Structure 1
Amino acid sequence: MTAPTATPISVRIARHDRFVQHAQGRLFTRTWAPEDASGEAAAAARQAAPIVLFHDSLGCVALWRDFPEALSRATGRRVVAYDRLGFGQSDPRVERPSLDFVAEESTLYFPALREHLDLQRFVALGHSVGGGMAIHCAADSGGGCEALITIAAQVFAEDRTLNGIRAAREQFQDPRQLERLVKYHGDKARWVLEAWTENWLDPGFAAWTLSPVLPRVACPVLAIHGELDEYGSTRHPALIGALCGGPAQVDILPGVGHVPHREVEGKVLELIRQRLGA
């Protein structure tokens, strides 16, 4: 894969927002890319496969915070994040997602993003359930995915995951907790919460697993996981490493919870930079 070098601190990272049209509603996207006076960093970034970010169950573009810009600078690549339909600045949804929502992100929504943003080649990076979606997108890419990076991904409905979601559902009975979601999702906040808790806790979701999907991932893989992740044990990255069809690297970060890219951002960036050869 083409791997630009890390972008110098002095180089500006440009940000560009746009909406992608989908049959079910608009998808909000944001792109970060190196830009300087000579254009060399920008040219290198255009030649390399961009990194596409898949957010977690309550996430959105804004909740990646400063990580995408730092990732663009560390790898010298374009970074693309988007709000799934019903989240953040994307258009709302009325009905709850189906229980096949992890796979459907790859079959129903990501193809529109690839077409409109001309993502012929890409690196898939997903956090939490976004990691599962990134796995599907890598497996379904037809060779277009150059590398897969998962952060705190779940690959089956583990008791620890479900217990963490039950605890979170109780916490969100406090209106002040829901207000935190309103800040990022507006009047879609209640839908976002229920799309997470009610789908994962539905008895029909109990048998969900990515075990049959992982062998179809042929690209290089980096699975990052916090040792103390409250939403998933280290069995998840172990399965990713064992079952993926491509060469896999698993990194368990000691003393780290469910959001490694926020808790130890520098370490996560270095692992990604090394894996992508930046």
Structure 2
Amino acid sequence: MRRIDWAAGRGIFESDGKGLEWRRWGPPPGDAPTIALLHEGLGCVALWRDFPARLAEATGLGVFAWSRAGYGQSDPADLPRPLDYLSREAKILPRALDALGAREIILFGHSDGATIAAIHAGAHHDPRLRGLILMAPHFFTESMGLAEIAKAKTAFDTTDLKHRMAQHHRDAEATFRGWNDAWLAPGFARWNVAEVIEHWRVPVLAIQGLQDQYGTLAQIREIERRSRAPVTLALIDACRHAPHLEQPDRTLAAVADFIAGLQQVEINE
């Protein structure tokens, strides 16, 4: 696989036959560990907004973000998405990370991206992985979250949501339906991947907005109950599903402290 050219700053790389857009911030992989950002179910590179630049500045590490197939300006995804699409994304994640060429990686996922990162950490022995940051993760469905996803469908069909999404996604219709149709499929209510938590072997930071409309603290309590790896919690008040946008200073502070702790452990070792 051809590696990305960090000096270029942005571009397209190929993974599993799909061209994926990417962008980077901060020092290259040869100079520091790299934080790999995995976006949410309707996210993409552009929708991280200024957070990656602030993250690189706050931590001194490189930050790498890409849009998965079907998102942003990346190639289309194969639709409809199967009910195990998050596990399938985790299976191809290592090949996307190979394009980065980093020896040390911290996975930082939001929502769907957090679940993909969590599955990868539990199902694969990745010697590059130094830590796991999970923001608004979900390991199983909750009725309140499914109800909110159903409301999103109504909003997409009746408001300007499609137009707003089209500013960031090549095919807003396919992006939305691919995510929404999977979550609202009858069989998805039984989806549960919480067993991966028991297989983590690196320190974890779990970030959750206390007013998250898509998931409750039950997701975080499952981490506390099942993880054998060290877990740090950042529970943020006055915050819904996007802590990095709604409470960026508090989110950045929690991440910077966590990463400083990771680096201190490496020094002591």
Normalising by the residue count of structure 2, what TM-score does the alignment of the two structures yield?
0.89
Q: 1:103: which partner in 2? A: 87
Describe the SS at the equivalent of 2:177: helix
1:28 aligns with 2:11: no
Q: 1:17: which partner in 2? A: 10
Residue 227 of structure 1 aligns with an amino acid whose one-letter code is: L
Give the distance between the partners of 2:10 and 2:120, measured in 1 at CA: 22
Q: 1:61: which partner in 2? A: 45
1:262 aligns with 2:245: yes
Q: 1:79: which partner in 2? A: 63
**Paired residues, what number?**
254
Give the distance between the partners of 1:125 and 1:235, measured in 2 at CA: 20
* C-alpha distance 24-47 of structure 1, shift in aligned 2 (>3 A): same
Q: 2:254: which partner in 1? A: 271
Q: 2:74: which partner in 1? A: 90
* C-alpha distance 141-55 of structure 1, shift in aligned 2 (>3 A): farther
Q: CA deviation at 1:85?
A: 0.5
Give the distance between the partners of 1:244 and 1:132, measured in 2 at CA: 15
Percent of residue pairs bearing the same amino acid type: 32
1:223 aligns with 2:206: yes
List runs of 5+ in structure 1 lacking aligned partners.
1-13, 35-41
1:156-175 counterparts in 2 under 5 A?
156-175=140-159
1:246 aligns with 2:242: no
Whether the 8 Å contact between 2:30 and 2:102 is mirrored in structure 1 is no
- Root-mean-square deviation (CA, aligned residues, Å) is 1.7
Match of 1:146 among 105, 123, 130: 130
Describe the SS at the equivalent of 1:173: helix
Match of 1:128 among 111, 117, 139: 111
Q: CA deviation at 1:113?
A: 1.5
Describe the SS at the equivalent of 1:21: strand
Describe the SS at the equivalent of 1:256: coil
Deviation per residue, 1:45-78 (Å, 9 max, x gap): 7443210111011100000000000000000000
Residue 97 of structure 1 aligns with an amino acid whose one-letter code is: R
Whether the 8 Å contact between 1:50 and 1:77 is mirrored in structure 2 is yes
Give the distance between the partners of 2:121 and 2:57, measured in 1 at CA: 23
Give the distance between the partners of 2:42 and 2:125, measured in 1 at CA: 25
Q: 2:266: which partner in 1? A: none
Give the distance between the partners of 1:136 and 1:191, measured in 2 at CA: 25
Give the distance between the partners of 2:214 and 2:57, measured in 1 at CA: 29
1:181 aligns with 2:165: yes
Residue 275 of structure 1 aligns with an amino acid whose one-letter code is: F
Whether the 8 Å contact between 1:15 and 1:33 is mirrored in structure 2 is no
Whether the 8 Å contact between 2:43 and 2:71 is mirrored in structure 1 is yes
List runs of 5+ in structure 2 lacking aligned partners.
1-6, 264-269
Residue 244 of structure 2 aligns with an amino acid whose one-letter code is: H
Q: 1:4: which partner in 2? A: none
Give the distance between the partners of 2:126 and 2:36, measured in 1 at CA: 16
Normalising by the residue count of structure 1, what TM-score does the alignment of the two structures yield?
0.87
Q: CA deviation at 1:240?
A: 1.8
Match of 1:232 among 215, 223, 233: 215
Q: CA deviation at 1:15?
A: 7.3
Residue 26 of structure 1 aligns with an amino acid whose one-letter code is: G
